[in-house]
Structure 1
Amino acid sequence: MSTPPLTYGRYLQIEALLKLQQPLSDGPEHDETLFIIIHQVYELWFKQLLHELDALNAALDAARTMAALATLKRMLTILKTLVAQVDVLETMTPLSFNAFRARLDASSGFQSAQFRLLEFRLGHKRPGMLTHYGEDGAAGAQLDAALRAPALYDHLLGYLHAQGHAVPPSLLSRDFCQPYAGSSAMQDLLVSLYRHDDPAAQVCERLVDLDEGLQEWRYRHVKMVERTIGSKPGTGGSSGVEYLRATLFQPLFPDLWAIRARL
């Protein structure tokens, strides 16, 4: 018996995909479908960003500058798409969201294990966050591994070291569980690098773009939540806007921002 030819629907598992949107409100409320789809799409983009981050780290470890730049360009484009999705979500009014908000119960975007994993791998490491995933063994294990592993900036330091730059040895062997706080010696090195090693400087600048892009998404997300629920507590018991505001303006790569005034 011959195997039927592969179709678009079977390849992308469209039938299963379109069954994943299951509103819980009575009716259901019109905007709940939008809310579900937007957040499911976010999770798919987070998955892709993690996939690209694997490729970026591998390119940096192998000192493949052009491959690293190409991967960073894709990641930056994805971040712009994440920001644009906020525009769609903001078409939902506070009244329409509140019509089904109570159905969310204890669920919250705060619980997104993939976004937390992305944060850890980009360098925004907070060991205390592991306590929120105690009941999810797989997610907890992934986050624990990411906490202990080198973050993106550590891969950059290794890349620069392989290019012959005198990266301080203490930075190459630092405790990866801790967020990177910056180094005056590394900043001195970067100022010289920007003036004499254009390819490496381009990689550094794309990391600044990445940092700025993530901060832009955080800001748009905060304002979207604020205009939708105001000062109300977030779902799942989070503090809502208050918590989200605390995540703003925390650079992932402090050295790359610190040198701006010296270039």
Structure 2
Amino acid sequence: MTSTEPHYGDFLRLQALLSLQRELPDVHDAHFFFTVHQAYELQFKIILYELDAAVVAVRGDDIPRAVYCLRRVRAMEDALVAQVGTLETISPGSFAVLRRTLGGSSGLQSVQFREIEFLSGQKDPGYLDRLRMSEAERIRLERRLTEPSLWDEFQRLLRRLGDPDLVELYRAEIPDNGLARLAEAMVDHDEGFGLWRVRHVAMVERVIGRRPGTGGSAGVAYLQSTVERRFFPELWAVRTLL
């Protein structure tokens, strides 16, 4: 007798999910390249989900929940960093063939990646003009540009708490203040995303050298210019003042 209970594949919608990968008969690495980037977008989706939840938690003064969500964000970013190494299994020669099939597409066009930046507080309206995107993606990015970021909500939380001196909170040898733990969880996120940027630069240079990137980007030169970006520079600066 056949069971009508949903099974593992039903819950995960595997039939649909596993039908989305592209293959090019003459380019062996195409299947791998496209699948890894799809996996990145799924991981970006998780990060956005947790960042959204953290923003709501901070807005509601629920610091433990915000820290809980941000711990997962950092764990996902560690996974992103580790995954970069898999792309280095593509030889420079193989990618030279593969990139001819990409047209004007580029990872720099990832709208979810820009959403993470905007939601964290690093908002650049110029991306609305520079990115190739669908109308639905544009609407999402415009919404992220106007809605409060994690940094905005953190600053509002500080005001609600009477603008405590973060430097004094950080002087504790073992911080047990909830606000300090939240600040450190935000720095963890900032650091994790920054480590991905650094690791990504090295991978791209290893695969394409100093050639221009796909989609007309400047390639490694552009990526290197983003390495020093910080979501929360004020939280990094606190350490200098101790």
* CA distance in 2 between partners of 1:224 and 1:248 (Å): 14
**TM-score calculated relative to the size of structure 1:** 0.85
Match of 1:191 in 2: 167
Is 2:16 aligned against 1:12? Answer: no
**Corresponding position of 2:152:** 154
Q: Is the 8 A contact 2:111 2:133 kept in 1?
A: no
Would you say the 8 A contact 1:63–1:163 is kept in 2? Answer: no
Q: 1:116 aligns with which of 105, 114, 117?
A: 114
* Unaligned runs of at least 5 residues, structure 1: 167-188
Please say if 1:205 is aligned against 2:184. Answer: yes
TM-superposed CA distance for 1:162, in Å, is 2.5
Structure 2: segments with no counterpart, 5+ residues: none
C-alpha offsets along residues 81-140 of structure 1, whole Å, 9 cap, x if unaligned? 000101111121111212221001111101111111111111121111101346521111
- Conserved 8 A contact 2:22-2:35: no
| 1:179-237 deviation line (CA, Å, top 9, x unaligned) | xxxxxxxxxx3212324772211111111111111110001011100110011111111
- Residues 117 and 231 in structure 2, CA contact (< 8 A), matched pair in contact too: no
Farther-moved stretch of structure 1 (140-149 vs 49-58): 140-149
1:48 paired residue number: 46
- Decide which of 182, 205, 221 is 1:242's aligned counterpart: 221
Give the aligned partner of residue 229 of structure 1. 208
What's the TM-score once normalised by structure 2's chain length? 0.92
Establish whether residue 220 from structure 1 lines up as the match of residue 199 from structure 2. Answer: yes
Residue 253 (str. 1) matches residue 232 (str. 2) = yes
Q: 1:16, 1:147 → 2: CA distance?
A: 32
* Cα shift at 1:145: 1.5
Give percent identity, aligned residues only.
45
Partner amino acid, structure 2, of 1:259: V
Q: What RMSD in Å do the two structures reach over aligned CA positions?
A: 1.8
Distance in 2, matches of 1:111 and 1:258, equals: 31
Paired residues of 1:134 and 1:140 also in contact (CA < 8 A): no
Residue aligning to 2:71? 73
CA distance in 2, matches of 1:148, 1:231: 36
**Aligned-partner residue type, residue 168 of structure 2:** S
SS in 2 for 1:127: coil
Structure 2 CA distance for partners of 1:18 and 1:134, relative to 1, 3 Å = closer
C-alpha distance in structure 2 between counterparts of 1:13 and 1:261, whole Å: 50
How many residues are paired up? 238
Partner Cα distance (1:15, 1:48) in 2: 21
CA change 1:262–1:16 in 2 (3 A) is same
For residues 132 and 30 of structure 2, the distance between their equivalents in structure 1, rounded to whole angstroms, comes to 29
